[in-house]
A and B are shown apart, each in its own frame.
Chain A
């Protein structure tokens, strides 16, 4: 509290002082440091501090406005203020008085001192006059001697110069001996002009000739040294510098320098080439074999899996791997090249820019030469690098290549810095781009062959009904670790094959994407090039790799339909079914999944138009449809073939009374059932029309199906009774035309309907080409009844089966020489017994 109060009073005190000063200044008409008063002067006559203060008005105002107590307070306050103002004024007066006294003292003292100084100055001026007089006298005496000395010293200098000239040849020789070339050149330079100037004098001429001879020798020696090339870069540049000073033509020197550098760089290049060379002839076969091995290795195991690397990965085409190769290229060739560029620029460009050489356009000339030189060598280097990159065919491990390319690209940036405007770095980038594109192509090929291999495996798996654990995992592409475990307990069923196939393809795609993704990794120098940000992602990876692969899957699937179409099935039907389901799955989910994955991984910004997902899906669906249709056709034909043979090879006129259902019909039913099971494994049930209660117990009228008898019932109508109800049914059915080989839907019922349609239509057409005896007709009745008992359950509309079987029985009745149909009850007994 005390402190606070003290502080407060101090600040209040200082504030008051300032105010007091201000008022005094005001009084004396001074502005604070010449500044205009900050606040406009108050014109209020009641402002006690203002210049227009009117005491009368103020008093009146106070009296009017304030109470007595307030007046009393006001008065006390004012008295206090007046008292303090008084004391302030006294202090000021006192201070000023003191200063005035001390100033008077000082002035008095100064007066004394000046007097003393005046005396001394007088003394000094007399002394100076005496000195001047003496000096004049001395210089008068020494005048003559001075001229002589000057002359002598001139002669001395000349003599020394002459001596230098006379000694020059010897000196130069000495330098030559000591190999102090720099000294020799600088000495010669100094003398050159003089010798040139006085060369008409025989003695000087002699010296000059001697010097020339020596200097020529020296130049010769320098050139020799330059040519030898054994010397270090520093020596070399010294040589060049000296030769330039010796007026050697710069162009020639540039050429020589560069050709010298070239020979060294070329030896680097040859070293590199030697590493590629082995591929040329002998290793070719080995390469082919190994590539194949490598591909199959890549196919068998996921490339990210490190275990098979040891056998498959090392590319035997070269002694060194690509990274080592590029490393060597960078460390030897590129760094030497940079060194050459630096020293060349130092010598011929930067150096010459300042000296007299600049005027001769030497920097431009030298720069031009350098560019052609670098371009030339870089082209050769690039062609070597490209050759080496082309040997990288194994797709096992991409990181090595990417790292190599990165290093290659990174090191070229040094050249870019040294040689702005050179095309070399761009060419380098183009090589990287080409390599990347090539890589994408290789991955596409690898994916394609992986897919075809997988299909071969599936084919084998389908061919051998009982599968060992090993082949199950092969079919799974090995990338699928669960394959071995799951293959243990169950034989490979279609759904398992399908899921393992699609999983292994997906895995393969993912690993390929991961490999390709390395090209765009952040720490890779070229990944921020516009190509790798845009086109590589969209056109390269998305279109050329992923989209192309999906299209390939669809197309190759379609090929199974076309190639196998005529020969009736080199492709197992189960494979067709499996592939159709695969394509359908692609349509519903896989394609969009893969593309989303790609787009996410590569952050593709599509500048150019890309294939939309819908197009691919449509293509996949079309392929799935085609495959399924073809499956129906192939299976239908297999059953048709059995039926056809069974009808064609029998003598239906002279057959015995039927006692059994023919074995072929049982076979047809068995096969149909197993097809039903097979399709059911991959496709949903689908809808069918409601069954009638007696689906399996329908009777056929042998006369019912002859439509023309109803339509053109003329004079030849047989007098047999007709089931009119059935006839009307048939007419209704027939109003919707039955297409036999038609497109089916993606469900089991539709597929089965298609197959049964094809089979029964064949049966019908074959029956129409034969002639039947009584028992022949009865056998057909029995067979058709049997088919009816079992086939109705497979189709979407049992009326279809009824209709076709009706037609068959009807047609055979028509083609019968002695149409005496069998009793329905007998037929049923025979069928149930069978």
Chain B
């Protein structure tokens, strides 16, 4: 499973199982590390810890067992590298239930792997359960959100039509619901996804249900805005612009990616229509919010450069002399063009629907994407663009 690739070329890693859940290890800022959760109904499910060695372009993997069930969503604690949450399906008595739990990785997953690399595949270690985030009254969990940049003590879980705010105590071994919000209306309402806003002192939450996007104030657990019919079809995912507090990106089954200013819920600020099937994931780059990553069931991953609505709408002034001194002389023509929103690159390494894409928490120029057939691809922002943003 070790692949050596040319610089800038994608690095591909194959899992044995189908997989949907992907996250960067948020608390890890030195190593480039992603966590992948598998989906199998027949075998024990796994968490793959994917380490990317940037210098050698090599992937190192470690496997931990997640025997509770197939993983639909995974989230890494922003404070403790070893702690993560999963949402998983548990089958019992011919009933399928979605649960959520907080887990701790065994402390020596790392060291054991280095000593005997082949061992891990055959005798993987098991995750340690810290606590369940289950409240049987509140139905099936869709996702668990950690408080952004928090101390790892607060999470929100979305279960059916409820948003539950949990306090984790006793080193996360105990979870208590501190407050709840409930979506009310006609029919069977169900949250499909959500995002905890890093702005406003982390007091806001955005959720998606059907075609609507809603904002919640966590202090009062009440709705603060609602974008009805944000998308023509189901809304699949959301993300907050890390640098502009009112800006929000969404994607959905109408093949579109929309950018919103939540102060004006009537019209999106911008709409992208580059995918030819449903868009399942949208992610802002954590440092350079003009870079937006979208993953779709058309098997493609698209990196867009949304300069006009970023926190750096004019980019950096590029000095021609300075640039021509640089190594990328052939890029001269491009850098002289005015900054426009554009698709930077379309990545076609996947052959099945791509359900997840994430930026690395350690290297802002690196990202991973995961398709249903278990293929994980690691890519970098093209150098030319990187230098244009930096210089």
Contacts and interface: CB of A to CB of B under 8 A. Distances in A.
A567 interface: yes
A773 B91 CA distance: 11
Given A707-B351, A739-B276, A761-B297, A637 B18 contact: no
A653 B276 CA distance: 32
A737 B299 contact: yes
Given A567-B232, A771-B91, A817-B91, A716 B43 contact: yes
Contacts of A768: 353, 372
Interface string B140-172: 000000000000000000000000000000000
Interface in A555-571: 565-568
A610 B94 CA distance: 72
Interface string B71-105: 00000000000000000010100111000000000
Contact of A761 (B43, B232, B277): B277
Given A716-B43, A771-B89, A817-B41, A739 B298 contact: yes
A765 B297 contact: yes
Contacts of B61: none
Contact of B352 (A707, A716, A761): A707
A593 interface: no
Contact of A653 (B14, B94, B348): B94
B233 interface: yes
Contacts of B351: 707, 734
Nearest to A817: B41
Most chain B C-beta atoms within 10 Å of own C-beta, residue among A654, A708, A714, A768: A708
A718 B42 contact: yes
A593 B72 CA distance: 60
Interface in A732-750: 734, 737, 739-742
A82 to B, nearest CB: 119
Contact of A712 (B14, B91, B233): B14
B298 A714 contact: no
A814 interface: yes
B373 interface: yes
A293 interface: no
Interface string B242-263: 0000000000001100000000
Contacts of B229: 566-567
A739 B275 CA distance: 9
A571 to B, nearest CB: 13
A653 B254 CA distance: 29
Contacts of A711: 14, 373
Interface string B89-126: 10100111000000000000000000000000100000
A714 B16 contact: yes
Contacts of B41: 771, 814-817
B233 A715 contact: no
B251 to A, nearest CB: 14
Interface in A712-740: 712, 714-716, 718, 734, 737, 739-740
B215 interface: no
Contact of B348 (A737, A740, A761, A814): A737
Contacts of A712: 14-16, 374
Contacts of B374: 708, 712
A771 B17 CA distance: 16
B231 interface: yes
A23 B278 CA distance: 128
Interface residues of A, number: 31
B42 to A, nearest CB: 7
Contacts of B233: 568, 637
Interface string A201-244: 00000000000000000000000000000000000000000000
Contacts of A706: 373
Given A565-B232, A566-B254, A653-B96, A740 B16 contact: no
Contacts of A737: 298-299, 348
A722 to B, nearest CB: 16
Given A566-B254, A568-B232, A817-B91, A708 B276 contact: no
B200 to A, nearest CB: 29
A708 B42 contact: no
Interface string B274-304: 0011100000000000000000011100000
A771 B14 contact: no
A768 B374 CA distance: 14
A741 B255 contact: yes
B107 to A, nearest CB: 27
Contacts of A765: 278, 297, 353
Interface in B314-365: 348, 351-353
A722 B273 CA distance: 39
Contacts of A739: 276-277, 298
Given A568-B232, A773-B94, 20 more contacts: A565-B232, A566-B232, A654-B95, A707-B373, A708-B14, A708-B16, A708-B375, A711-B14, A712-B14, A714-B16, A715-B16, A716-B17, A716-B40, A716-B43, A734-B351, A737-B348, A761-B277, A765-B353, A816-B41, A817-B41
Interface of B: 14-18, 40-43, 89, 91, 94-96, 121, 229, 231-233, 254-255, 276-278, 297-299, 348, 351-353, 372-375
30 contacts: A567-B232, A568-B232, A568-B233, A637-B233, A653-B94, A653-B96, A654-B95, A706-B373, A707-B351, A707-B373, A708-B16, A708-B18, A708-B375, A712-B14, A716-B40, A718-B42, A740-B276, A740-B277, A741-B255, A742-B276, A761-B297, A765-B297, A765-B353, A768-B372, A771-B89, A771-B96, A814-B41, A815-B41, A817-B41, A817-B94
User: Which 7 A-B pairs have CB atoms at the shortest separation, nearest pair first?
Assistant: A566-B232, A708-B373, A739-B276, A740-B277, A712-B14, A716-B16, A771-B96
